[in-house]
Amino acid sequence: MRVYFLIFAANFSTLFIPLPEEITLLGAGYSARSGAANLWLALLVAWAAIMLGDWLTFFAGKAFLPRLLASRLGQRMIKPDRQAWASALVHKYGARTIVIGRFLVALRGPVYLAIGASNYGTAKFLIINGLVGMAEVGLVVGTGYLLGPSDAHTHRLRIIDGVVVALVLIVTIAIPLLVKRFTKDARAEATTAQ
């Protein structure tokens, strides 16, 4: 039972500690491979911890960020027309924003805060994020399980490292292009609406 508490605490702590949750997810899979935990329970506990953290971030955005943005300081930080533009963008591309946000390691929290502040539907957020989170948690914990304490799998690390580096490069290039496309579409719609 202690190992499940540790898996939950490690994954939930990524909400407060600047540590990618993928590292703690790999650790959950590794502990299942070593026999310290059941794989399915480790998956469930890790997923629950991450979903709780995501919901708290979304709720904080929904409850507190609009008040901050309505203040003088908030309006100086982000002009009201930019706030309206961002909110419209989230409402138009909400599901895509949630999916992309799930895979943005350093930006996941701010993205979920912004989604909450835009008054996006809580049920929609929880369903979409829950499903995408289930896929991510399964993939990363499964990878940790496959690469767990086994000499037979250690030679595969170099191949996986290469694939991960390639994926990070692709995402690093693709995300700015997607953001540029979405902002271009939103600006075109705003110009057309005027």
Instruction: Give yes or no for residue 193 having a pLDDT over 60.
Output: yes
At 94-137, the pLDDT tens digits run 788 888 888 877 778 888 888 888 888 899 999 999 999 999 89
pLDDT on residue 2 = 85
Distance CA 139, CA 155 (A): 20
The dihedral of CA 53, 169, 95, 67: what is its sign?
A: positive
Q: Own/partner pairs for 8-11, CB < 8 Å, 24+ apart? A: 8/45, 8/46, 8/48, 8/49, 9/49, 10/49, 11/45, 11/46, 11/49, 11/50, 11/53
> pLDDT value at position 172?
67
Dihedral-angle region of residue 119 (phi above 0 means left; psi in -120 to 50 means alpha; beta otherwise): left
Contact, 108 vs 14, CB < 8 A?
no
pLDDT for 58 equals 92
Q: What is the mean pLDDT of residues 169-176?
A: 70
Output the pLDDT for position 80: 76
In this prediction, residue 190 carries a pLDDT of: 65
pTM of the model: 0.70
- Portion of the chain with pLDDT greater than 90, in percent: 20
Confidence at residue 159, expressed as pLDDT on a 0 to 100 scale? 59
pLDDT over 60 (residue 152): no
Contact 32, 145 (CB under 8 A): yes
Q: pLDDT tens digits, residue range 31-83? A: 888 888 899 999 999 999 999 999 998 999 888 887 887 788 877 777 777 77
